[in-house]
Amino acid sequence: MPELPEVEQVKKTLAPHVVGKTIKVVDVRLPRLIQYPSAEIFAQRLVDQKIESIERKGKYLRLNFGQNLYLLVHLRMTGALLAVNKAEEEPAYAKIKFELTGDEDLWFTDIRTFGTLYLIDNEDKSIEGYASLGPEPLSNELTIDYLEPICKKKSAAIKGVILDQKVIAGLGNIYADEALFLAGILPQRPANLLSKEEIVKLIKAINHVIAQGIKNHGTTFRNYQDADGNKGDNVKYLFVYGRKGEKCKVCGQELCGLKVAGRSSTYCAKCQR
């Protein structure tokens, strides 16, 4: 599932293929993926737009066209943006084709079709999930002074708090489990019962796992691939995610599984308290 490091890797690999290219035709094969505006207007407005740059904010990618026109893409679970040579056959699960100037086209593919796309004017406040994103890991806004008061106000599980994109932008199930393991905190602990020291450790752990994920080009657990169709290398560095029933890499004890905040969670009952 694409989280911050995976989306960052898509941005890096996509940019050399598409920045400076102009969209000539848009073929939307699954209109419900277009959240705003209608699929018809979406396709029409993109014609002859030149891709000036690409940015990432949280798990969103933003293609900038100039004149305050932006394409927001959220990959959700299995969405992918692929640059494919026009001579090659189209990719599997192709849902949207952006015909570009040059030798390659841009494809949006999606197995489970949860991905969402938006074409917006200005850096609009109209897309709630995008406009309300909290600070990012590795930014100087994610501080103890920011996070501690938020935790103090919430009796819900800490894992749910750090998965909330309004609190921290970019964490998903994989990096949340990994950060909680590194910080030595059980995912089900009520956020308001964490000590200041624990929250400090958690912020450091979040920054660490995200930086490592980026360095390793993302985590490919099932379907994630970058714009070149390559997988990430980070899965071999995971301590807990997807390892329920296996031995803890630190203490050797069998890892536990539990539903927390509606998500499957894996943790070590000995290393995490």
Residues that bind DNA (CB under 7 A): 1, 3, 58-59, 74, 76-77, 93, 111-114, 128-129, 153-157, 160, 163, 165, 172-174, 261-264
Q: At closest approach, how far in Å is the CB of 262 from DNA? A: 5
Q: Exactly one of 3, 8, 136, 198 is catalytic; which is it?
A: 3
Q: Exposed (0-12), middle (13-18) or buried (19+): which is 212, by Cβ within 10 Å?
A: middle
Task: Report the DSSP pairing between strands 116-121 and 34-36.
Answer: parallel
Q: Which two tokens mark 43?
A: 């396709």
Q: Between 28 and 163, whose beta carbon lies closer to DNA?
A: 163
Of the candidates 149, 155, 159, 151, the residue with the CA atom closest to the CA atom of residue 179 = 159
Active-site annotation holder among 154, 201, 263, 270: 263
Residue 258 pairs with which residues in a beta bridge? 265
Question: 67 or 155, CB closer to DNA?
Answer: 155
178 classed as catalytic = no
Determine which one of 2, 5, 137, 187 is catalytic: 2
149 is catalytic: no
> What span, in angstroms and rounded, lies between the C-alpha atoms of 109 and 159?
30
Do 56 and 14 touch, CB atoms closer than 8 A? no
Which amino acid appears at position 243 of this protein? R
Query: Residue 121 is which amino acid?
Result: D
Q: Is 66 exposed, middle or buried (0-12, 13-18, 19+ CB in 10 A)?
A: exposed
Query: CB of 220: closest distance to DNA in angstroms?
Result: 13
Nearest distance from residue 21's CB to DNA, in Å? 27
Q: Are 217 and 12 in contact (CB under 8 A)?
A: no
Q: Name the residue nearer to DNA (CB basis): 157 or 206.
A: 157
- Select 31 or 262, whichever has its Cβ closest to DNA: 262
Whether 59 is catalytic: yes
CB of 148: closest distance to DNA in angstroms? 15
Catalytic residue among 11, 56, 59, 159: 59
- Would you name the residues annotated as active-site residues? 2-3, 59, 263
